[in-house]
Chain A
Amino acid sequence: MLLSQARPLIGCCPLCAFAGVGKSSLVHLLCQNQVLGNPSWTVGCSVDVRIHDYKEGTPEEKTYYIELWDVGGSVGSATSVKSTRAVFYNLLNGIILVHDLTNKKSSQNLYRWSLEALNRDVAPTGVLVTNGDYDREQFADNQIPLLVIGTKLDQIPETKRNEVLTRTAFLAEDFNAEEINLDCTNPRYLAAGSSNAVKLSRFFDKVIEKRYFLRDGNQIPGFTERKRFGGGTLKSLHYD
C-alpha cells in the first residue's frame, strides 16, 4: 500500500548554514528521527532522505521522498569552494536556513547564504555580483519556500531566551519564512503533533506543491538547461 503510492523524489532542499551550527545533527534528526551520536565535520555535501506524507490525513494523501542536501562550509570560503558548492544548488525546490542561537553572527550570515543559493542562476559563470547587503525586494518575489531553523536552544539560559527569540522572529519575518527553534539532541522538539512538527510538514507540503503542481508558472530561469541532472532524478523509483 505504501509502495504503490510512493512517488519519486523531488523535493530537494539544501540546508545552508555556517560551519559548526549543527546541520548534520538536524538532518539526522529530521530523517531518522534519532539523535546523531557523533557529529563530525562535513566535507562537501551529504544527502539524506525523508519520507513525507503530503497532505496527511486528507483523502489526497500521497507519500513523497524529500532529499535534504546538507551543504557544508562557510560563507567566507574561497571562491573555488563557492563555485563547487554552486553545483548543488541546481535542482533546489526549497531552502532551509540553519543558524546557531548562541552565536549572533551565524544568523547575520544567513542573508549572504540565501543570496548565494538564490542568485546562482543570475550569473552562470559562478561569480556572485553582490555586496552582501540585504535587499528586501529580492525576497519579495522569491518563489522558493524558505524555512529558518535555530539550533542549540538548550544552551541558552532562561533569562536570555526572550530576547533571542524576538531577534530570531524578526529574522524569519525578513525572509518571509516560518521559523523553528530547537535542540538537535532532543527528539521531543519535533514530536508528532507539536507546533514545530506542524510547521515542518507545512513547509514540506509547500515545497512539494511548488515542484509538482505549480511547475508551469514557476520555472526558475535556466531550469530547463540543467536537465542533465533532471533526467536522472525523474526516474520512477519503486521499491521492488
Chain B
Amino acid sequence: MSFLIDSSIMVTSQVLFFGFGWLFFMRQLFKDYEVRQYVVQVIFSVTFAFSCTMFELIIFEILGVLNSSSRYFHWKLNLCVILLILVFMVPFYIGYFVVSNIRLLHRQKLLFACVLWLTFMYFFWKLGDPFPILSPKHGILSIEQLISRVGVIGVTLMALLSGFGAVNCPYTYMSYFLRNVTDADILALERRLLQTMDMIVSKKKRIAVAHRTMFQRGEVHNKPTGFWGMIKSVTTSVAGSENLSLIQQEVDALEELSRQLFLETADLHATKERIEYSKTFQGKYFNFLGYFFSIYCVWKIFMATINIVFDRVGKTDPVTRGIEITVNYLGIQFDVKFWSQHISFILVGIIIVTSIRGLLITLTKFFYAISSSKSSNVIVLLLAQIMGMYFVSSVLLIRMSMPLEYRTIITEVLGELQFNFYHRWFDVIFLVSALSSILFLYLAHKQAPEKHMAL
C-alpha cells in the first residue's frame, strides 16, 4: 500500500517537473521561434523531468521520506529511463533532424538517421576503452557500462564549465579589470566605422555602374568557367572585368574591416555600460562578491593541484569533516546525527539548485548565441543531451559530498563504478580548463587596450 502512495508522490512530482521544463522551453529558449515539431519540446521536458527526479530522490534519501524499498525501486526505474533517453532516443532524433535539414537526403530520412545513430553508438562504446572505469566482471549490456560512459562525458562537461565559470566569475564581477573607456573613444571608433562603410559604398557603386554598362552593351558578364574558359582567360582579358575583380577584392577586405570595427564598437559600448553599472549599489555588491569568488577560485585550483600531485582521494565528506573539527578541536558538543542530516540536506540542496540554475542559464545563453531558425531543433536536442549527461554525472559526484550513511543508495544503484577515477578526472579537467581560461582571458584583456591605443 505504501508503495502505491510513494509511487503516486513520485509521479506527481515528475509531472510538475515536466511542466516546468515545458514552460522553460516555451518562455525562455524558444521565445523567438515557432515550435513546429512538438517532439523536440516533449523530449526536452522529459529529460529535464527525469533529471530533476534523480535529485529529488537524493533529497528524499537524506530526509528519510518515503519507504526505502520504494526509493530503491524508483532509483532503478529512473536511471533506466534516463539512460534510455540519453543513449537511444535523443541521439536518434538529433540524427533525424540533422538529416532533414539536408535537402538531398530527404527521401531516406529514417535510413540515414539510423546510420548516424549507429556511428554515435560506435564512438560512444569506444569511449570506454582508454579509461579504467569498470571492473571486467560486468557483462556487455549492463547499466554500469552505459552509466560509466555517460559519466565520463558528463564529468568532462562539468569540469570544463566549472573551470571556466570559476575564472570568469571574478573577472566579470570585479571592476578592477574594467578598461577605461571614454565617450570620445566610442565616437572616434564609430566615425571610423562609418568611413569604412562609405568607402565600401563608393566602390560598390562603381561595380554596379560597370555591371549595368556591360549589361546594356549586350555583354553577359560570365566568369570564365571550365577548363577552356580558364585557358582563354589567360590570353584574352576583358579590361573591365579585370578592374572589377580588383575592386571586388578591395571591397571584401573593407567588409572584413567593417565587421571588426563593428565588433569592437559593440565591445566598447558594453564596457561603458559595465563601468556605469559598477558605480551603482548593486555593482558595488557584485564587486565585493568578486573578490570573495576569486579567493575561492584560487583555493579550488590549489586543491585540485594538490589532489593530483599527491594522488589524494578524499574519504570523508565536508559535512562529517566539519562536524569532526568542531567536536574535536573546538570542543562544541551537539547531536551529531541530527545536525549532520540537516546540514547535508542544506548543503546538497544548495549544490543541486545552483547547478541546475547555472546550467539552465548557460544553456540559454549558448542557445541564443548560436541558433538560427534552421538549426534550432538540433541545437535544443543537443542541449537536452548535455543537460541529461550533466545531471547524471552530478549525481555521481555529489556522492562525495554526502555522509556515509546516505552514500550507500547511490553506490547500490549505480553499481560498482570506480568513483575515485571520476573525481580524479574531474580535478584534471577542472585544472586544465581553469588554467586555459586564465590564459585566454589574460590574452583577451591584453589585446584590447592596445587596439584601443592605435586609434
> In this assembly, does B273 line the interface, its C-beta being within 8 Å of a C-beta of chain A?
yes
Contact A84 B269 (CB under 8 A): yes
Q: A44-B259, A87-B190, A87-B265 are in contact. Are A51 and B270 (CB under 8 A)?
A: no
Contact B209 A87 (CB under 8 A): no
Interface-located stretch among A102-110, A200-208, A209-217 = A102-110
Tell me how many residues of B have a C-beta within 8 Å of chain A: 43
Near B by CB (< 8 A), chain A positions 67-109 give 67, 69, 74, 76, 78-81, 83-84, 87-88, 90, 100, 102-106, 109
Contact B201 A105 (CB under 8 A): no
Contact A19 B194 (CB under 8 A): no
Contact A80 B201 (CB under 8 A): no
In the bound complex, residues from chain A placing their C-beta under 8 Å from that of B269 are: 79-81, 83-84
CA distance A49 to B262 in the complex (A): 20
Main secondary structure of the interface of A (DSSP, over half): mixed
Q: A2-B209, A79-B269 are in contact. Are A232 and B195 (CB under 8 A)?
A: yes
CA distance A237 to B191 in the complex (A): 21
> In this assembly, does A128 line the interface, its C-beta being within 8 Å of a C-beta of chain B?
no
Q: A47-B201, A50-B208, A65-B208 are in contact. Are A84 and B266 (CB under 8 A)?
A: yes
In the bound complex, residues from chain A placing their C-beta under 8 Å from that of B270 are: 78, 80
CA distance A6 to B210 in the complex (A): 12
In the bound complex, residues from chain A placing their C-beta under 8 Å from that of B193 are: 87
CA distance A67 to B204 in the complex (A): 9
Q: CB < 8 Å: which of A19, A44, A46, A229 contacts B372?
A: A19
Near B by CB (< 8 A), chain A positions 135-149 give none
Identify the closest chain B residue to A81 (Cβ): B266
Contact A20 B204 (CB under 8 A): no
Q: CB < 8 Å: which of A2, A47, A109, A237 contacts B200?
A: A47
Contact B266 A49 (CB under 8 A): no
Identify the closest chain B residue to A108 (Cβ): B32
Contact B191 A228 (CB under 8 A): yes
Q: CB < 8 Å: which of B31, B211, B258, B272 contacts A45?
A: B258
> In this assembly, does B212 line the interface, its C-beta being within 8 Å of a C-beta of chain A?
yes
> In this assembly, does A9 line the interface, its C-beta being within 8 Å of a C-beta of chain B?
yes
Q: CB < 8 Å: which of B32, B201, B204, B368 contacts A18?
A: B32
Contact A100 B265 (CB under 8 A): no
In the bound complex, residues from chain B placing their C-beta under 8 Å from that of A44 are: 258-259, 261-263
1/0 per position for B183-215, CB-CB distance to A under 8 A?
000000011011101101110111111111100
Contact B34 A104 (CB under 8 A): yes
> In this assembly, does B373 line the interface, its C-beta being within 8 Å of a C-beta of chain A?
yes
Near A by CB (< 8 A), chain B positions 1-49 give 31-34
In the bound complex, residues from chain B placing their C-beta under 8 Å from that of A67 are: 201
Identify the closest chain A residue to B372 (Cβ): A20
In the bound complex, residues from chain A placing their C-beta under 8 Å from that of B265 are: 84, 87
Near B by CB (< 8 A), chain A positions 1-55 give 2-3, 6, 9, 18-21, 31-32, 41, 43-51
CA distance A228 to B192 in the complex (A): 12
Q: List 27 A-B contacts (CB under 8 A).
A: A9-B201, A20-B372, A20-B373, A32-B211, A43-B259, A44-B258, A47-B200, A49-B201, A51-B212, A69-B197, A74-B32, A80-B266, A80-B267, A80-B269, A80-B273, A81-B269, A83-B269, A84-B266, A88-B197, A102-B34, A103-B33, A103-B34, A104-B34, A228-B191, A232-B195, A233-B198, A233-B201
The 10 closest A-B pairs by CB, nearest first: A44-B262, A80-B269, A80-B270, A20-B372, A49-B204, A20-B373, A84-B266, A43-B259, A83-B269, A239-B209
A-B contacts besides A80-B268, A233-B198, 19 pairs, CB < 8 Å: A43-B263, A44-B261, A45-B197, A45-B262, A47-B204, A49-B201, A49-B205, A49-B207, A80-B270, A81-B269, A84-B190, A87-B194, A88-B197, A102-B373, A105-B31, A105-B32, A105-B34, A229-B198, A232-B195
